[in-house]
Chains A and B, each alone.
Chain A
Amino acid sequence: MFIIDFFLDIANYFIKHIDKISTYTFEHFVLIIIAIILSLVIWLTVGIAIRNNLGLAKGVLGIGSFIMSVPSIALYGILVSVPGFGLSRRSAVFGLILYAMLPIVRNVYVSLNQVDENVMEAAKGMGLSTRQVLFKVQLPLAMPVILAGIRVALVMMVGIATLAVYIGERNLGSLIQQGIVRTYDDMIIVGAILVSVMAFLVDYIMGKVQKAIVSPGLITDTTDSSTSKREVA
């Protein structure tokens, strides 16, 4: 009986507050979409720019893993005390972009450099310019690894975005935050479940996207650096 009551309470809360919950979910998506678009523009460019420069790449990736080891709420804490950022969406987005740096830049850099020398040589021999080699040969071949990086970044963002409620965002994290403040258990549980479901969904969808975009010939060697990948939420 207890278990049934428990689930009924949760379902009840969910149905009663469906308006608020859908607004929060929407806001959560908007924040992540803004952050991932900006991250892609910035970090893909950076990754491509450093592809032939080992020294620079080491520096950039060092900064990335340094940022990655800063706890996200601490990074937000530091960001809000910077004049010009403060309690605003700007801080929330900027924090997310910083965390996306390592997974995206590292995967772009590593995968571009993994492209077989002979393939590059053949492309050059056929008269392709450096630019054409990059866009027509290197990037398509590197796509599986780059997408894997974006996938890691996105799943991480879903989690970190929940913490942005403490610096003024309103999203699914708000359910947890307000639930804790009001000791309203149903609210906490609904929030926690929805946030987790969202993370799984994003991961699942990205898995499908990966399969759809990547050329079938490359599917077998989807290099997933999952053993060494480092994520912090």
Chain B
Amino acid sequence: MDIQEAFEVLNQQGWKLLVQHLKLVGISLSLSIIIALVLGISVTRYPFNKWMPQIVSFLNAAQGVPSLAVVAIFLPIMGVGVLPAIVALTLYGLLPIARNTIAGIEGIDPDILEAAKGMGMPSRDVFWKVELPLALPVIIAGIQTSAVLIVGTAIIADLIGAGGLGRLIFTGINHYKPFITLLGSLMAAGIAIILDQGIGFIQRRLTSAYRD
């Protein structure tokens, strides 16, 4: 009976909510990647690198803020809906990417940079041909962390009216329909695992290419 009902719910709204969830994740993740890359890279450049230690410790500290708090704080500020959810998800998701971008670029052996400059590379080329490729595996690891984080936080974003799979999970919990909760949870877990494994695969491919 319960299982049947769950499948009915799946047929009626399940796929719609799944697509909604994927949209939320897709938009927020893309925005996070773009903003975090620009932010992370500019922090390692000349006028901003003075504040690097402060920025890095801020990013580390901000990472400790629980996801429920991040989502909830946007309700009083921006109200209910998809937009505040996307803003919250984007801000939360850009932390690991920005941190890894900075760490990846900072972690490059200074001798390599010196060699590149010594060969007469303009700083633009040093960035595109040396720094970015070498930092890429670390940056992608950050994107992987962020993707998983955003999938999970997008569930919670339903609390401020974003829709998505969180609706199934919270409806199930509130009405005590464990199968509906299970359904939503399994779908969300599936998305997270697929994204995690997929990005991990890309990262391994890129890393091994540099090792050869």
Q: Which B residue sits closest to A165, measured CB to CB?
A: B68
Q: How far is the CA of A176 from the CA of B60 in the complex (A)?
A: 23
Chain A CB within 8 A of B104 CB: yes
**Beta-carbon contact of A188 and B72 below 8 Å:** yes
Q: How far is the CA of A180 from the CA of B99 in the complex (A)?
A: 31
| Contact string against A for B residues 185-199, beta-carbon threshold 8 Å, 1 for contact and 0 otherwise | 110110011011000
**Beta-carbon contact of A78 and B182 below 8 Å:** yes
The main secondary structure of chain B at its interface with chain A is helix
Nearest chain B CB to A165 CB, angstrom units: 9
A77, A200, A227 — most chain B CB neighbours (10 Å): A77
**Beta-carbon contact of B156 and A73 below 8 Å:** yes
Chain A CB within 8 A of B179 CB: yes
**Beta-carbon contact of B185 and A191 below 8 Å:** no
Q: How far is the CA of A52 from the CA of B65 in the complex (A)?
A: 36
Q: How far is the CA of A77 from the CA of B176 in the complex (A)?
A: 11
**Beta-carbon contact of B188 and A71 below 8 Å:** yes
Q: How far is the CA of A162 from the CA of B72 in the complex (A)?
A: 12
**Beta-carbon contact of B193 and A158 below 8 Å:** no
Contact of A180 among B61, B66, B160 (CB under 8 A): B160
Chain B CB within 8 A of A140 CB: no
Nearest chain B CB to A212 CB, angstrom units: 21
Known: A73-B152, A162-B68; 8 extra A-B contacts, CB below 8 A, are A69-B189, A69-B195, A71-B188, A73-B155, A173-B68, A180-B160, A195-B69, A227-B141
- Return 22 A-B CB contacts under 8 Å, by A number: A73-B155, A73-B156, A74-B186, A74-B192, A77-B182, A166-B173, A177-B159, A180-B160, A183-B75, A185-B75, A188-B72, A188-B76, A189-B76, A191-B72, A195-B65, A199-B66, A226-B60, A230-B145, A231-B145, A232-B145, A233-B149, A233-B152
**Beta-carbon contact of A232 and B148 below 8 Å:** yes
**Beta-carbon contact of B73 and A74 below 8 Å:** no
Chain A CB within 8 A of B90 CB: no
**Beta-carbon contact of B192 and A70 below 8 Å:** yes
**Beta-carbon contact of A74 and B75 below 8 Å:** no
Q: How far is the CA of A68 from the CA of B173 in the complex (A)?
A: 22
| Chain A residues within 8 Å of B73, by CB | 188-189, 192
**Beta-carbon contact of B169 and A196 below 8 Å:** no
Q: Which B residue sits closest to A202, measured CB to CB?
A: B64
* Interface residue tally for chain A (C-beta within 8 Å): 47
* Interface residue tally for chain B (C-beta within 8 Å): 50
**Beta-carbon contact of B138 and A77 below 8 Å:** no
Q: How far is the CA of A185 from the CA of B172 in the complex (A)?
A: 26
Nearest chain A CB to B182 CB, angstrom units: 4
Chain B CB within 8 A of A108 CB: no
**Beta-carbon contact of A75 and B189 below 8 Å:** yes
Q: How far is the CA of A73 from the CA of B164 in the complex (A)?
A: 13
Q: A159-B66, A162-B66 are in contact. Are A80 and B188 (CB under 8 A)?
A: no
Nearest chain B CB to A72 CB, angstrom units: 6
**Beta-carbon contact of B68 and A163 below 8 Å:** yes
Q: A74-B155, A80-B173, A233-B152 are in contact. Are A180 and B189 (CB under 8 A)?
A: no
Could you tell me which residues of chain A, from 161 to 201, have a CB within 8 Å of some CB in chain B?
A: 162-163, 166-167, 173, 176-177, 179-180, 183, 185, 188-189, 191-193, 195-196, 199-200
Chain B CB within 8 A of A146 CB: no
**Beta-carbon contact of A232 and B138 below 8 Å:** no
Q: A74-B155, A196-B64 are in contact. Are A81 and B182 (CB under 8 A)?
A: yes
Chain A CB within 8 A of B20 CB: no
